[in-house]
Structure formats: structure tokens, C-alpha cells
Amino acid sequence: MEKGLIHIYCGNGKGKTTAAVGLAARCAGSGGDVLFFQFLKDNTSSEREILKKIDRVTLLDGLSKVKFSFAMNESEMQQAKRFYTEKMEEIIKESEKYRLLVMDEIIAAANKGFIDEDRLVEFLKNKPYMLEVVLTGRNPSERLVDIADYVSEIKKIKHPFDKGIKARKGIEF
């Protein structure tokens, strides 16, 4: 089988998670097994409902309630860091069983210090040979960009949020 590559979907536009979900569906549709985890999101995003129904997709649960990092107190920050660090180790351990690993918003988790980017880079450099990996989030570090095989930037030209329109279920979450 072919060597798995590393994808980054980044930028300030809408569609990073949507692209990752699409690739997960494509991989599962071709017979590949997918491991999917969302950092910094609770378990309520609508894409989870359809991913749960795809036999070849393993969807790991995140924290049940997630605040924006700027709204967290120190205790909540430490709890989140422990949770995401442990989850990252679980993902690394389990990754050899899969064709595709999606780590949605892991770039934000690294940027906010919820996971150790050095550990992430080490994993990416030594990942299972056939494992394809997707990382999403804004502002990837130069190290992550350098190690990636694909870097796709989703640029916001216009967004309804700028007009005060709130996120809509089934479209933005």
C-alpha cells in the first residue's frame, strides 16, 4: 500500500472541518478505516451524527462541555491540557489500526498549549507508514507546515458572522 501523507487544512475561512469530514467519508467509502477526533469542541457538532453511522469511522468523544480558552480559568485550562494530552497519547497508540487519522482543531490545541507540539511533530515524523493524517486549525506553526505534504488554506473573503449572523446548526456546526 502507498505511504500515507500529512494534510493541513488551515486559514480563517469556513470549511476546514468540512474538508476533513469529506476526506473521512471518501476514505471510509473506499474501504479504509478512519479515526476521527475533535480538539477544543464538545460532542455536539452535527457532523458527528453522520460520522457515527459510518461503520469504518471510529469517532472518539471529547470533553462534554468546552469553553473558549479565553473564558477558562486556570483550573479549567489545566484540566483541558490533561485531557487533551491523554487523548493525544491514546490516538498515537491506536493510530496504527487506521488508514486515516483526522485531528480536527489540533493546530489550535497546540497553539493554546493544550497539547505539546513537540510530541505532535515527533508522532508525525514517526507515524505508521500507511497512515494518512489530517490536521485542521488556524495558524499552523512553520514546523507543522514544513512536515506536511499538503497545506490548503481556506481564506475568508466574506462571512455572515461579520454581519452578526450567528452560527447555524447543520451549516457552521
Per-residue pLDDT reduced to its tens digit, 19-77: 999 999 999 999 999 999 999 999 999 999 999 999 999 999 998 887 777 777 888 88
Question: What CATH number is associated with residue 27?
Answer: 3.40.50.300
pLDDT in tens, 73-84: 888 889 999 999
In Å, how far from its chain's centre is CA 154? 15
Range of the structural domain that residue 92 is part of: 6-163
Q: Is residue 168 part of a domain?
A: no
CA gap 6, 133 in Å, rounded: 5
The SS3 call for residue 151 is: strand
Q: Is residue 1 part of a domain?
A: no
Q: Is residue 159 part of a domain?
A: yes
The amino acid at 117: E
Q: How many domains does the chain have?
A: 1
Contact indicator for 166, 135 with CB cutoff of 8 Å: no
CA-based nearest residue to 34, from 13, 55, 17 = 55
Helix (H) or strand (E) holding 119: helix 117-125
pLDDT in tens, 115-144: 999 999 999 999 999 999 999 999 999 999
Q: Is residue 148 part of a domain?
A: yes
